[in-house]
Structure 1
Amino acid sequence: MRTLSRLATTLIAALALSGAAHAAPAGDIIKPMRGTLDQVTDHSLTLTDRRGAKVEVGLTDQTRINSVATGKISDIKPDSFIGTAAAPQPDGTLKALEVHVFAPSLRGSGEGFNPFESADGKVNTMTNGTVGKLVESNGRTLTVKYHDQQKTVIVPDDVPVVTLAPGDRSLLTPGAHVVLFANKQADGSLAARGISVGKDGIVPPM
């Protein structure tokens, strides 16, 4: 019985370690707010999130605004600075759920590898970095370098690709779809530190 117990314990530990190897990275999970703008003033906006809740978020002089436009897979080139929400694969690679290609002036934005809550509520990963090696076959296989590390990312042909460029408050109009990153203030209110706004009715896929 003791031998069976030891074997069971060893098996459980091995399975736990195996699962951990393919899980999202440790650390605080990035949880963006996704929704549709209802109202915008000089100092705040109100949106309806994807669960149907109304949320008010403050705007400050430090709030960064980017526009999100339709891209194509050929926009992903060596030395492009990209971000990709992706799901970890058993072989250690990442399978892209979307790719956003930053304008040159936004190079370095959010560089790194972090756990990220996707639109479906699952925790996957977000990798922001520079494209190194790129193989064009059945989509794209590419290395994404960040700081002194890199990840291998598989980008299937049907994955949505968008481009991000600097924007301004003129993009914040009722009906626009946004992905918003906010900080909680001392009084419990929210203030937007960054907003990605879909142009021409686009729903940002990240």
Structure 2
Amino acid sequence: MSFRMKFGVSVATLVVASAAFAQTPAAKPTRIRGDIVSLSGDTLTVHRRSGDTVKIDVKQDVKVSAVKNIKLSDIKPGSFIGTAATTGTDGKMTATEVVVFPESARGTGEGHYAWDLGPNSTMTNANVDTVVESTNGRDLKLSYKGGSNSVVVPENVPIVTFLPAARTDLTAGKKVFVVAAPGKDGEYAAQRIVVEKDGVAPPM
């Protein structure tokens, strides 16, 4: 495979993987977070954070990705990010994680909507207009189609970007984030997967 073909495959993988952060209000997938028990054939068994164990059908064409840590300083004006955040009683949003999308995925899932990472959690996929250093980390002014908001990103918040991964990375004990469609008999069909790699677990 030529370098150009390899590069194209990697970019395509990252674009699809980025959609794990890009569920619009109209789409209501199930987001599964937990630890891999096993991958047997096309069946991925995951022990969820909630305590139950579920089986997920993983077709051969389902894209698998990973994440790597980057620095808070890597978020620049013009970056396109997705950030889960909680809103305090003062109405201010504080990030609980941030993903910086590859440029090829700019615009994916753009908007501000409810998220299920925790109580009062939201997801904002938006362009970073300004970055201002503060005593609490950095204040980001975000804009998206139809609106804008601001979020404080503390220094200790996970900040990641996507890496390509493969089915062979779906091994027992690794943490995983799966966007899946509910299926029959309590099973699910995976749409996209983000798996722990090199010790970095998906924070979303």
TM-score by length of 1: 0.76
State how 1:151-170 maps to structure 2 within 5 Å.
151-170=149-168
Q: 1:166 to 1:130 in 2, by over 3 A?
A: farther
Deviation by residue 1:72-129 (Cα, 9 ceiling, x = unmatched): 21121112121111012345431111111122233333222111111xx424101112
- The CA distance in 2 between the partners of 1:114 and 1:147, in whole Å, is 12
SS of residue paired to 2:198? helix
Match of 2:125 among 124, 128, 133: 128
Q: TM-score when scaled to structure 2?
A: 0.76
**2: CA distance, partners of 1:198 / 1:144:** 28
Identity across matched positions, percent: 41
Q: What are the residue-to-residue correspondences of 1:7-156 with 2, within 5 Å?
A: 32-61=31-60, 63-118=62-117, 121-138=118-135, 139-156=137-154
Give 1:36 deviation, angstroms.
0.9
Question: Residue type of the partner of 1:124?
Answer: S
What CA RMSD, in Å, does the superposition of the two structures yield over aligned residues?
2.4
Q: Partners in 2 of 1:66 and 1:150 — Cα distance?
A: 29
Q: Distance in 2 between matches of 1:62 and 1:145?
A: 33
1:201 and 2:190 are equivalent in the alignment:
no
CA 1:131 to 1:167, structure 2 compared with 1: closer, same or farther past 3 Å? farther
Of 177, 180, 192, which aligns to 1:179?
Answer: 177
C-alpha contact (below 8 Å) 2:80/2:126 kept by paired residues: yes
Give the conservation status (yes or no) of the 8 Å contact 2:131–2:138.
Answer: yes
Q: How many residues align?
A: 179
C-alpha deviations, 1:137-174, integer Å up to 9, x for none? Answer: 23111122222321111111122212223433232222
Q: Classify the secondary structure of the residue corresponding to 2:78.
A: coil
1:30 is displaced (CA, Å) by: 6.8
Q: CA deviation at 1:28?
A: 7.8
Instruction: Pick closer, same or farther for the CA change 1:185–1:100 going to 2, 3 Å.
Output: same
Q: Aligned in 2, Cα 1:180/1:161: closer, same or farther, shift over 3 Å?
A: same
Say whether the 8 Å CA contact 1:35–1:49 is kept in structure 2: yes
Contact in 1 for aligned 2:42/2:60 (Cα 8 Å): no
- Cα distance in 1 for partners of 2:156, 2:28 equals 26
Alpha-carbon distance in 2 for matches of 1:165, 1:105: 13
Cα 1:60–1:127 shift into 2, 3 Å: same
The structure whose Rg is larger is 1
Unaligned segments of structure 1, at least 5 residues: 1-25
Residues 113 and 198 from structure 1, CA distance in 2 versus in 1: closer, same or farther, beyond 3 angstroms? same
